[in-house]
Amino acid sequence: MRSRPAAIFPLIAVLGWGATFPVLASALSRVDALNLSVARYAPATAVFVVLLLLREGRAGLRADGRLGEVVTLGIVGFAGFNVLANLALGYAAPQQVALFVATSPLLTQLVRWARDGVRPRPALLALSLVALVGVGLVITRGRLDGLGQFGVGGLMMLLGVIGWAVYTHGAGRFAQWSPLRYTTLTALTGTAAMLAVSVAADLVGWQHAPAAADLVAVAPQLAYAVLAGSVIAVLAWNTGVRRLGAANAALFMNLVPVVTFAVQIARGYRPGVVELAGAGLTIAALVAANLVTRTRPAVVPVATRSHAAPAGTAVTDRTAVTDPVAVVAR
């Protein structure tokens, strides 16, 4: 499948996530961060399970001997990122928190380098840095010294994005699973971890279980976070990772803070010239990065054609971390 149609999937995901930060920030005034994470992902995970059962049957719920890896990815990536993002929103504005999501491309490449031993392309690293500079201009209006004000919220978000980079890389290691199956099983383990931590926090008094009136008050925010920010976005993201490759899909995360910023504009915020220039720089770097990392078809020598992979087999190129993964349409 060509990379341009496949790019629709991570684009859908980042559009959903970019709007989610302001939505969740408004809900935190009534529901604590950990309980909000559970309230968001418990129904979303139930939807994932129903979809998986309808699509693949009960066999889709089996871990096939990889339960340990699924649990780790669910806790570190799925639960870690979302819980830490909610906690960070208690310390910083949505657009400030979203800025750290733009570090995802760099961190994903470093995770691939550390785990697979494959060095990222220098051009991709350079363009990722350019995109990050553009996002910095968008958020800080050219005053980069403002980054030092993020404090605890920034640290939480950075740790969360590291976890998401591990989760994104992990999706590529489950090439035999459908994106729906990978999403569902990691969501189950991640949501179970969120629930356990949230219950413990309620019991020791770190937070308080929300009253029914609180949940009703934030029902519109939860509806958006569950459907658009969780079910649709996560499925679209893992599909995009499968079709484009982890490092290539991660480039789209540069757009998350830009979308968040656009939502804030719609709510009445007025940007300056420097901020608009930063948004343009981010988008230009993202487009350029996808152009330089586009896969070129490999030429198979005649002498080795008899050993070529059979039709219907996905082929991955480990020599280039950023090349899209060849996926056979089901």
Query: Residue 63 — very low, low, confident or very high, per pLDDT cuts 50/70/90?
Result: very high
* Residue 189 pLDDT > 90: yes
Give mean pLDDT, residues 281-299.
68
Report yes or no on 121 lying in a domain: yes
Report yes or no on 324 lying in a domain: no
Report yes or no on 303 lying in a domain: no
pTM comes to 0.75
Give mean pLDDT, residues 10-33.
91
Q: Read off φ and ψ for residue 92, nearest 5 degrees.
A: -145, 160
Report yes or no on 305 lying in a domain: no
CA distance 224 to 227: 5
Residue in this structure with the two tokens 């480990």, named with its chain if needed: 318
Q: Which of 87-96, 134-143, 295-304 has the lowest mean pLDDT?
A: 295-304
CA distance 239 to 168: 11
Pick the closest to residue 42 from 264, 193, 179, 211 (CA basis). 193
Q: How many domains does the chain have?
A: 1
Report yes or no on 254 lying in a domain: yes
CA distance 275 to 117: 37
Q: Give me the DSSP letters along 214-234.
A: HHHHTHHHHHHHHIIIIIIHH
Give mean pLDDT, residues 201-205.
92
Report yes or no on 320 lying in a domain: no
CA distance 176 to 153: 37
Report yes or no on 122 lying in a domain: yes
Range of the domain at 75: 7-295
Pick the closest to residue 170 from 116, 228, 118 (CA basis). 116
Report yes or no on 328 lying in a domain: no
pLDDT of 139-170, one tens digit each? 777 666 655 555 787 788 889 999 999 998 88
